């Protein structure tokens, strides 16, 4: 991917306010990561098994103290900001009344308007405050643990969460009746709609994000890597379709591909056009 750093107006950085993970001492680092993986795989917050008294949280708002960071991590902040700007600029051309959101960058855990969330929850969108939440450590997990490296794999995750913002703005989320899988697959498709725009040649010369050779494959690999069936198999050795929250790997790849191919939100009606596992 080719991208240009911006002014970071699309991110809210509260990394300096992280949540103390002292509670890990009671389960050990191995146990913590097992609970983290089970949480991702089943949609159940197994980290609640750690004593709440062992964790200290903080809410967003105001200026966070400076975070201890590195040049590599700061480049990731610039990357998130650049992708967020590009994704939102794309949606502004599609939705005339688009309302901007931001990514809140945190470490360890955060108290959002949707409640307490740990890093193990993964990136998420909170409709109560219309913000995307992301711990940059997830990108390392995406690459090392789930085998989905590359900038476009990371950009897909961001664009997916903005997809949930689109669902709120357009009323889709309110009409979904709590059906999580169609919502998640549609967010994958919406991410693909942005990917279609980013694949157009000549964008980098305009200061926009532009995909390069191999990026589409990296994005599709990321969609497959975090399918419910694969995560459940990694965590428990078996697949439980009744506990799916995001859809199977095949479903996630297919809907992401539909957005990438068409570039049209109308191609993303996951509620009418169901795809079997």
- Written as six digits, the tokens of 257 are 């591909």
Overall size of the chain counted in residues: 277
What is the rounded average pLDDT of the residues 189-200?
98
Q: Percentage of the chain surpassing pLDDT 70?
A: 81
Nearest to 61 by CA among 104, 108, 100: 104
Give me the torsion for CA of 140, 143, 145, 148, rounded to 10°: 150
Reported confidence tier of residue 240, pLDDT bands at 50, 70, 90: very high
Q: Is the pLDDT of residue 238 over 70?
A: yes
Q: Are 82 and 6 in contact (CB under 8 A)?
A: yes
pLDDT score recorded for residue 121: 82
Per-residue H/E/C for 117-180: EEHHHCCEEECCCCEEEECCHHHHHHHHCCCCCCHHHHHHHHHHHHHHHHHHHHCHHHHCCCCH
Q: Which domains does the chain have, with CATH numbers?
A: 11-268 (3.40.390)
Alpha-carbon distance 32 to 236, whole Å? 15
Long-range contacts, stretch 62-68, CB < 8 angstroms, 24+ apart? 64/13, 64/14, 64/15, 64/16, 64/17, 65/16, 65/17, 66/16, 67/13, 67/15, 67/16, 67/18, 67/107, 68/16
φ, ψ for residue 109, nearest 5 deg = -170, 165
Tell me how far CA of residue 115 lies from CA of 89, 112, 142, in angstroms: 29, 5, 24
* pLDDT tens-digit series, residues 199-221: 999 999 999 999 999 999 999 99
Q: Is the pLDDT of residue 113 over 70?
A: yes
- Averaged pLDDT of the chain: 86
Q: How many CB atoms lie within 10 A of CB 174?
A: 10
What is the rounded average pLDDT of the residues 122-145?
94
- Helices 228-236 & 28-42, crossing angle to 10 degrees? 150
Query: CA 67, 70, 71, 73 torsion: positive or negative?
Result: negative
What is the rounded average pLDDT of the residues 250-269?
96
What is the rounded average pLDDT of the residues 89-110?
95
What is the rounded average pLDDT of the residues 251-264?
97
Alpha-carbon distance 181 to 245, whole Å? 5
| Max mean pLDDT range (28-32, 185-189, 245-249) | 185-189
Q: Is the pLDDT of residue 248 over 80?
A: yes
């Amino acid at each position: 991917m080719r991208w240009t750093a911006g002014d970071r107006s699309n991110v809210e950085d509260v990394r300096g306010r992280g949540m103390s993970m002292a509670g890990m001492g009671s389960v050990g680092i191995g146990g913590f990561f097992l609970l983290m993986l089970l949480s991702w795989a089943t949609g159940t917050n197994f980290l609640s098994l750690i004593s709440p008294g062992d964790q200290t949280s903080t809410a967003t708002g105001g200026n966070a103290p400076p975070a201890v960071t590195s040049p590599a991590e700061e480049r990731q902040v610039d990357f998130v900001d650049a992708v967020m700007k590009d994704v939102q600029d794309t949606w502004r051309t599609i939705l005339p009344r688009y309302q901007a959101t931001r990514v809140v960058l945190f470490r360890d855990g955060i108290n959002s308007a949707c409640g307490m969330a740990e890093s193990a929850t993964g990136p998420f969108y909170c409709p109560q405050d219309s913000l995307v939440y992301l711990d940059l450590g997830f990108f390392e997990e995406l690459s090392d643990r789930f085998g989905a490296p590359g900038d476009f794999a990371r950009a897909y995750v961001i664009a997916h969460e903005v997809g949930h913002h689109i669902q709120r703005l357009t009323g889709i989320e309110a009409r979904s009746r709590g059906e999580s899988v169609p919502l998640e697959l549609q967010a994958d498709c919406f991410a693909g709609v942005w990917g279609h725009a980013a694949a157009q040649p000549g964008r980098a010369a305009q200061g926009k994000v532009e995909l390069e050779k191999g990026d589409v494959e990296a994005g599709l690999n990321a969609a497959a890597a975090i399918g419910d069936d694969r995560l459940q198999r990694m965590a428990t050795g078996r697949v439980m379709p009744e506990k799916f929250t995001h859809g199977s790997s095949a479903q996630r790849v297919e809907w992401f591909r539909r957005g990438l191919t068409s570039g049209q939100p109308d191609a993303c009606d996951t509620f009418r056009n169901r795809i079997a596992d």
